[in-house]
Structure 1
Amino acid sequence: MTRAVRHATVDDCWAIHEIARESWHAAYDDVLGARRVDDIVADWYAIGDLESSITGAYGRENAAFLVAEAASEDAATDSERESALDGFAHAVPWPEDASVAFLARLYVRPDRWNEGVGTALLERLETRLSAEFDRLRLAVLASNDIGISFYESCGFERVATRKSDLGPGLEEHVYEKPLSDAVG
């Protein structure tokens, strides 16, 4: 299946919310519990906030909100196109260092894991941001083995470990990757 990576639009908000919900439950139910995951997704992926994030990133050279979708001529209706979204990525400037972009979100539907969706999103994001930033930084819960494996396979290196705000006793790893190596 061919995938297209494009800029997100506000019409994508519900699909993005659902991808976040599915991904968070698959990755974090065992760590945080399903109810806590529901609360986080409801808070962090509220439709109005997603709309603001998407419109805030649109047209800026130092931010991006991208989606990956199945390229299909058969998806004729809006609902068919919405259900064709497989993942999304969102990056913004790191507030304390103008040379660093922060990968705030990168999630893929669990039934599409290991199909190259995350890699396609990340490569497009790196290419887009490489003219503005030297490095890409992210934080991932230390218990998220799937996420850690993905980021390390994409060339990210752990630069720190810190306490997470998501719950007592939880840690998160901070990873970075130089953007000068981004493939165009």
Structure 2
Amino acid sequence: MFVRTAGERDLAAIRALLVETWHATYDALYGAARVTEITDAWHSIASLKARLTKPNSEFLVADDGKRIGGVAFAEGIGGGEEVVLKQLYVLPALQGRGIGGMLLDEIIESFPEARAIRLEVEAQNARAIAFYEANGFVRSGDAGEHAGASGEPTLVYIRPLAG
């Protein structure tokens, strides 16, 4: 897999990856119908396309030349001193192979002025929490500003960066 900037031609594959990953992760927690509702709203082609031109952001894919295996999206805020990781997903069949780490590293490198990277994660997503903690993130004392799919506040994790 190599990491590159996402393009318009990737949007259908990115949507398919997000739908598959969300169902694999959340069907047991929220039910398939609720997950379909969420992915239709949050991961539509139109909403993904808007990210391609969003200022102060980076939209990446992990690609092996045959398929998109992972996706990440982040935005710089506060004059670029903080990065907010909005998405980092890897196809379930490819998880545990370093693809998420490659995407995370490239996101961080894309914001050289950043002093910290922050994310919100569903409290029930133990696998994602373990990944982020293994990659240097620590839980912040704050509840997330967004409700997760469960309607509960998400957990906030922060990783300081050498800035």
TM-score normalised by L of structure 1: 0.81
Partner of 1:66: 60
Aligned counterpart for 2:10 among listed residues 9, 12, 19: 12
Report the identity percentage: 34
Residue 23 of structure 1: CA displacement? 1.0
- CA deviation string 1:105-153 (max 9, x = no partner): 1111000000111011001111111x23111100000000010010001
- CA deviation string 1:75-117 (max 9, x = no partner): xxxxxx4xx11010000124xx442111001111000000111
CA contact (8 A) 1:10 1:55 kept: no
Aligned counterpart for 1:89 among listed residues 68, 72, 85: 72
Residue 161 of structure 1: CA displacement? 4.8
- Aligned residue pairs, count: 160
Partner of 1:46: 44
- CA deviation string 1:53-94 (max 9, x = no partner): 01225xxxx320000011x4xxxxxxxx4xx11010000124
Partners of 2:96 and 2:149 in 1: CA distance = 26
1:91-130 equivalences under 5 Å are 91-94=74-77, 97-98=78-79, 99-129=81-111
Partners of 1:161 and 1:26 in 2: CA distance = 28
TM-score normalised by L of structure 2: 0.91
In terms of fraction of residues, the more strand-rich structure is 2
Partner of 2:149: 166
Partner of 1:64, secondary structure, is: strand
Q: Which runs of 5+ in 1 are unaligned?
A: 73-80
Partners of 1:49 and 1:40 in 2: CA distance = 12
Misfit runs of 4+, over 3 Å:
none
Partner of 1:24: 22
Q: CA RMSD in A?
A: 1.7
Partners of 2:148 and 2:100 in 1: CA distance = 25
Task: Name the larger-Rg structure.
Answer: 1
